[in-house]
Amino acid sequence: MGVVISRASLLRRAGWSGLRRGYILLGVEKNPGTKPGPARRLYLGLAVTILAVLVYAAYITMQFAGLRKLQSEMVDRNRRDSLQLLRIQNDLNSLGLAMRDMQDASEPYPLVAWSAQFDRTRTDLADALRLEAPMAQATPTSEQRRYLYQSMNQFWDACDRMFALAQGNQNAAREQIRDTLQPRQEALSSAVSRLLVQNNEAEEQAAARIAEIYNRVQRQLYLFLAAILLAIVLTSLYLIRNNMRLFAHVEELSSQRSDLAQKLISTQESTLRHISRELHDEFGQVLTAIGSLLRRTERHVAEDSPLHSDLQEVREIAQTTLNNIRSLSQALHPVLLEEEGLESTLDWYVPTAERQTGLVLHYEKSGEPFAIETGAGVQIYRVLQEALNNVSRHSGAKEAWIRLRFEPASFELEVEDHGKGLAPAVGQPGIGLVAMRERAELLGGRLTVTALGTPATNGTGTLVKLRIPRAKVEAHGD
């Protein structure tokens, strides 16, 4: 029971221990008498600014959400509704023209000959009404729409009676057209016209509301920009005043940065090595022993027993956990560095990183290999790790080139990609690049990050190059 320690707890314990050891090595202690810097006020100002931006962003979002809703639910919907109403009105006008021609007794065709045209128009009107119904707004016009649908049904009922009458009495059918159908058609056209007018009025009102929202947002934007500009001016003046006072102190601290970073790197590597060994030796041995005990227990249980399958499942879980711990241990601190050296470790790591990152890695070695001291090998290995992480996370490239050169007077490592570029702005290096440079300085070497702009790389890309004097990294036998 005493060996059950969570991975997070172990990492926390080792990490804090490493940091404490780093501070002890540096002799750094917090001076309670130190005058507080401007950071607290700047953080407060930043928090207020961010809060103001968030509040205003929420306000703008709500305004534009309402605007989008207004446009989609009223303007666009009214326009689509008007198109269907115009379609209905066009069909009604066609019916009106047809009924006018049907009353002309000089027409050579009987009235029943018009039934096919009426059927086509009826089908088109039914389709238009079906499409228009979902777009009809729940407004006071609902009564008028109900009247439209009822009148339409009554009109077609009258049409059916007229065509039935026309089969026996043409003159009576023409009288019914004049007395019943034409008035109903005119009433339907008037109803559709009123709905079109109301749609136009609603669209004009929505346009006015949209213009009002735009004007309000524009006014608020000007006020917000003025407030932000004022805050920027005040903050800039405050920063200038404090920077003049802090530059001297920063210059003094910068001279100690390299030592601090290098010792913290050493402390970090020591911590990772300790965690890796603890995982590999302690937890690995415990899980191996558990697996062996489970395997022996399985032999004493019948294969068709439910307990046998449970034991087998637990053993598989233990084996999976063991494999994960070994992988974590290897990732924290590859044992191969101490056992086989840097070259063999990189031969193992490159295909492993290729599987993990999904990059296509081209690995090249040149020169006469020589043994690399273990401590130096750790730093070189970390530089390669960080360089490949940058390619995978930030460059957008799908492949990279790794070159290992064993020169007579130096050791060189290059990582090249043809992505969007990783070279930071001057004076603004990323944390990863800072750590890489500190590791290079720790070995007495130099790390350069060059932005590629050649036609071969389509104008983009990055080359990370680590060069270390051979005398600083070569391992010498006893």
CB atoms within 10 A of CB 6: 8
Looking at CATH, the fold of the domain delimited by 59-225 is given as Four Helix Bundle (Hemerythrin (Met), subunit A) (1.20.120)
Per-residue pLDDT tens for 324-369? 777 777 667 677 777 888 888 888 889 988 888 889 999 999 999 8
pLDDT at 434 over 50: yes
Mean pLDDT, residues 318-329 taken together: 76
Do the domains 337-473 and 59-225 match in fold? no
Of 3-12, 141-150, 165-174, minimum mean pLDDT range: 3-12
Q: What is the pLDDT of residue 241?
A: 79
Per-residue pLDDT tens for 373-424? 888 888 898 899 888 988 888 888 889 999 999 999 999 999 999 888 754 5
Per-residue pLDDT tens for 207-220? 787 778 778 877 88
Per-residue pLDDT tens for 240-264? 877 777 777 767 776 676 666 667 7
Question: Model confidence at 313, in pLDDT bands (50, 70, 90)?
Answer: confident
Q: Kindly report the average pLDDT of the chain as a whole number.
A: 77
Q: What is the pLDDT of residue 28?
A: 40
User: Helices (H) and strands (E) in the chain — how many of each?
Assistant: 14, 5
Q: What is the pLDDT of residue 335?
A: 73
Mean pLDDT, residues 57-84 taken together: 74
Tokens of 420: 């969007």
Mean pLDDT, residues 146-158 taken together: 85
Mean pLDDT, residues 163-189 taken together: 86
Question: Model confidence at 15, in pLDDT bands (50, 70, 90)?
Answer: very low
Mean pLDDT, residues 434-458 taken together: 80
Domain 337-473 sits in CATH at 3.30.565.10
Tokens of 219: 């006014």
| CA dist., res. 343 & res. 363, Å (int) | 12
CB atoms within 10 A of CB 98: 15
Q: What is the pLDDT of residue 61?
A: 77
3-state secondary structure of 446: strand
Question: Model confidence at 25, in pLDDT bands (50, 70, 90)?
Answer: very low
Q: What is the pLDDT of residue 31?
A: 45
Higher-pLDDT residue of 270, 102: 102
Per-residue pLDDT tens for 28-41? 444 444 455 566 77
Q: What is the pLDDT of residue 452?
A: 80
Per-residue pLDDT tens for 465-476? 999 999 888 877
- Closest C-alpha among 308, 311, 395, 391 to residue 357: 391
| CA dist., res. 385 & res. 404, Å (int) | 14
Higher-pLDDT residue of 53, 17: 53
The answer to whether 88 touches 131, Cβ cutoff 8 Å, is no
The CA–CA distances, whole Å, from 33 to 29, 30, 36 equal 12, 9, 9
353: which residues sit within 8 A by CB, 6+ positions away?
Answer: 359, 361, 385, 388
Q: What is the pLDDT of residue 136?
A: 63
Per-residue pLDDT tens for 264-312? 777 777 777 777 777 766 777 777 778 778 777 777 777 777 777 777 7
Of 19-23, 53-57, 303-307, 458-462, minimum mean pLDDT range: 19-23
pLDDT at 78 over 50: yes
- Closest C-alpha among 95, 81, 67, 190 to residue 139: 81
Kindly write down the DSSP assignment for every residue of 341-386, as one continuous string: -HHHHHHHHHHHHHHHH--EEEEEEEE---PBPHHHHHHHHHHHHH
Determine the longest span between alpha carbons in the chain, in angstroms: 128
Higher-pLDDT residue of 206, 262: 206
Domain boundaries, the chain: 59-225, 337-473
Q: What is the pLDDT of residue 138?
A: 42
Higher-pLDDT residue of 35, 8: 35
Q: Could you tell me what percent of the chain has a pLDDT over 70?
A: 81
Q: Could you tell me what percent of the chain has a pLDDT over 90?
A: 8
Of 93-97, 134-138, 364-368, minimum mean pLDDT range: 134-138
